Amino acid sequence: MPKPTSDLELEQALNPEQLAAVTHGEGPQLVLAGAGSGKTRVITYRVAWLIEQCGVPADQIVAVTFTNKAAREMRDRVENLVVRHPLPTFLGTFHRYSLRLLRRYGDRVGLRRDFVILDTKDQMSLLKQALEREGLSDKAFPPRAVLAAISGAKNQLLDPQAYEARAENFFQRRVASLYRRYQFLVGQVSGVDFDDMIVKAVNLVEDEELGKRLRSRLRYLLVDEFQDTNHAQLRLVRALSGEGGNLTAVGDEDQGIYRWRGADLDNILDFEASFPGAAVRKLEQNYRSTQTILDASGALVAHNTSRRGKKLWTESGDGELIELYRASDEQDEAKWLVNALVGLQPEHRLSDMAILLRTNAQTRVLEDRLLQKGIPYELVAGTRFYDRAEIKDLVAYLQVLRNPWNDLALGRILNQPPRGIGKGTRNLLEQLARDLGHPVWDVLAKDELGNLPQRSAKALRAFRDLIVSLRRLAEQVPLPTLLKQLLSATSYTDLFRADDPEGQARLENIREFVSAAQEFTEANSYQSEETDLMSAFLDQIALVSDVDSWRGGKGISLMTLHSAKGLEFPVVAVTGLEEGLLPHFNAQKGPDEIEEERRLLYVGMTRARERLFLTCCQRRRVAGTYQDQKQSPFLEEIPEQFLNVSLSSSLFADRRASNVRSFFGQSSSSRRRPSSSFLPPESDGTVKKGSQVRHPTLGTGVVLQTDGGGDSMKITVFFERSGKRRLVAKFANLEVLS
DNA sequence: TGTTCGCTTGTTTTT
DNA sequence: CAAGCGAACA
């Protein structure tokens, strides 16, 4: 470890734990950073400290995160701390880092220079082809499920052979052959899916010679959101940092919400096993929320077992109670919430508020309400710019210009805009290509259109000539010019009319795309030895999502709980706290899934600085029809003392009293504490965490904790009347209610 | 060939 | 309620 050369007010800027993490010496360390505990601060200061005070060459430091948004923030903050500009340190996502390796050394793992990144839709269409060729129906093998299985295999670094060897049943054996064929098709279009990027990067770095070379140039590795790493990413990190390497992993097991994507909490829980001798530090002082918010969310997440455990504290005081509103339906929920939020003005600006949702589908009602009231809002949807049809078309054109043998992209633009190449012609063409064993483009280029109808052949030749001339053009003019020429040569914009709102939006997107190309070209004109500009541009588009470019500031933000991770707002509302939504009914199979849903709520709650709102509905429209909803079991786990509960007035007025009773488990006029009024889950007679119990003299309460078993089992119960009590189960004489 | 209509179907989260 | 698909029509 080099000696620090100067002092940079670290003591003033950091608390003792942060300071220790920032100035950690050689070897691995794990920083368990609670929500709002200054995790980004630690990473940015450490990078700055290494560069400024230890004299580590900036390009020998690599810091990876999961989102571009986080990476951008990191870069901004590091650049404020260090003198050196531009900063040659890699600060970016896992995928971008991997991509950089692949663009440089991809030929070693069988990649063409001009490989393209496949998105979900591309994957889907390749998988459908695979299904067809295997003669399997998409009924028995739902493409989504098969892709999920393949993705899971890749996250575990299992290739088709290895996966097949482990296959335990018929389904998995079939998936194995689908996986093989899918991978073959991916190779045929020289594509790489998101998972492949990591897998192939691991292959590269685990190569002895190359790994050594890379490690010699990478002396300090920092990884953010370590709880979100999957097995492949762990292997990548391990290979990059090497034995006893200088790895700083920062994360919070309570914020792990990507299990479904292969993230493995054990990477953080068993960190010391993967990185022997690692230092472990905890950051528990919170600089974001009120103590009320911390205690309430802390009590919630304490119900999880997959955690090391920590208790967040703040110096900022208790603050206001958390508002819980029970709405009659989602209309009512939206109405009340919008009112409540608007009423917080002017102390809070609309741009300081966020409404968080479990699913994207929930946005509609809220949007309607906001629109109706004329309240500015910003929808931060997960849809990528790239996912929009018109952008995908243009991207496909560019991909074809680079590499016309990419059947996927070629297929997309073959008849877009319509040029007389219909389904019939297309089928014949593809059949022909398959018979000849050529990519589609070769059939066109070599004019092997023998047995096609005159009309079809003519249309195809016209298309071929168009592509050929555009390819020639691509070599001569800069990217933005090429795009403009392409648009006019294909009359692509004729597809849309400026007089309808949708067409307008699409034309707007196209303009944005062209100006993005312009910007990109200007920003990157100086460096183009490694990869050509167009590839770099296409990569950029494939990896960047809308959330990444979101900067807030134009009104209330609307987003999913997942995309809210890493953000904070003075005012936060989490909606839809109902069974089936949060926890989502697709995530109730096992305890692990429930715990993840709980963490999701935890993440949502801990985004709030000052005010937190929670809402749930008695009934909700699901797929067109109303469904009675039970309130989320998680609400029970938030101690009532932190809540201020209010009810929809329409619930009192509702003539259908039975409905009200079934929702609240009580008559609507009597007032009892919310957690006992909650419709309890079915009891199986055993006492466990979250169980409702009745004590002969202490009354009813909720089990917070159980210790030991058998006759010596002790349980901690939170009683409505007397608060927390610790009892010996054997003597307590408890009646289990749920 | 291209478009539109009506049907079915399914319904999480995202790099 | 939507998107996505297939079949019928222009």
- Residues 344-373/A with CB within 7 Å of nucleic chain C are 364
Q: Which nucleotide comes closest to A258 if you measure CA to C1'?
A: B13
Length A623 CA → B6 C1' (Å):
18
- A392 in active site: no
Confidence at residue A203, expressed as pLDDT on a 0 to 100 scale: 95
Quickly give A498 CA vs C2 C1' distance in Å.
25
What SS3 class is residue A318?
A: coil
Does A446 qualify as catalytic in the annotation? no
Annotated catalytic residue within A40, A314, A399, A629: A40
Whether residue A189 contacts residue A406, with contact meaning beta carbons closer than 8 Å, is answered with yes
A225 is catalytic: yes
CA–C1' gap, A359 and B7, in angstroms: 26
pLDDT band at A309 (very low <50, low <70, confident <90, very high): confident
Average the pLDDT over A380-394 and give the result. Answer: 78
Percent of chain A scored above 90 by pLDDT? 41
Question: In this predicted structure, what is the pLDDT of residue A299?
Answer: 93
Is strand C within 7 Å of residue A423 (CB)?
no
Name beta bridge partners: A728: A714
The nt closest to A624 (CA vs C1′) is: C1
Nearest-nucleotide field for A621 (CA, C1'):
C1
CA→C1' distance for A504 and B7 (Å):
30
Evaluate if residue A730 carries a pLDDT over 60: no
Lowest mean pLDDT among A13-27, A95-109, A236-250, A718-732: A718-732
pTM, 2 dp: 0.81
DSSP letters spanning A637-655: TS-GGGEEEEE-HHHHH-S
**What pLDDT sits at residue A444?**
87
pLDDT at A726: 56
Cβ distance A518 to A323 under 8 Å? Answer: no
User: Is residue A570 reached through a cis peptide bond, with omega within 30 degrees of 0 on the bond before it?
Assistant: no
Q: Provide the pLDDT for residue A552.
A: 66
CA of A20 to C1' of B1 (A): 70
Q: What pLDDT is stored for residue A494 in this prediction?
A: 80
Respond yes or no: is residue A40 known to be catalytic. Answer: yes
Look up residue A262 and give its two tokens.
């292969």
Closest residue (Cα, C1') to C2:
A623
Secondary structure (3-state) at A101: helix
Within 7 Å of a protein beta carbon, the nucleotides of strand B are 1-3, 10-15
* Segment A472-476 mean pLDDT: 89
Average pLDDT rounded to a whole number, residues A383-393: 78
> pLDDT, tens digit, for every residue of A662-714?
344 333 333 333 333 333 333 344 566 666 766 655 566 666 666 555 445 65
pLDDT at residue A19 is higher than 80: yes
Residue A253 designated active-site: no
Which chain A residues in 603-622 sit with Cβ < 7 A of strand C? 621
What is the distance in angstroms measured between the alpha-carbon CA of A502 and the sugar C1' of C4? 19
At A607-643, the pLDDT tens digits run 999 999 999 998 888 877 888 888 899 999 999 999 9
- Closest C-alpha to A120, from A452, A442, A392, A482: A392
Give A517-550 pLDDT, tens digit per residue.
888 888 876 555 556 788 888 888 888 776 666 7
Catalytic site includes residue A323: no
Q: Which of A39, A69, A358, A599 is catalytic?
A: A39
- 3-class secondary-structure state, position A437: coil
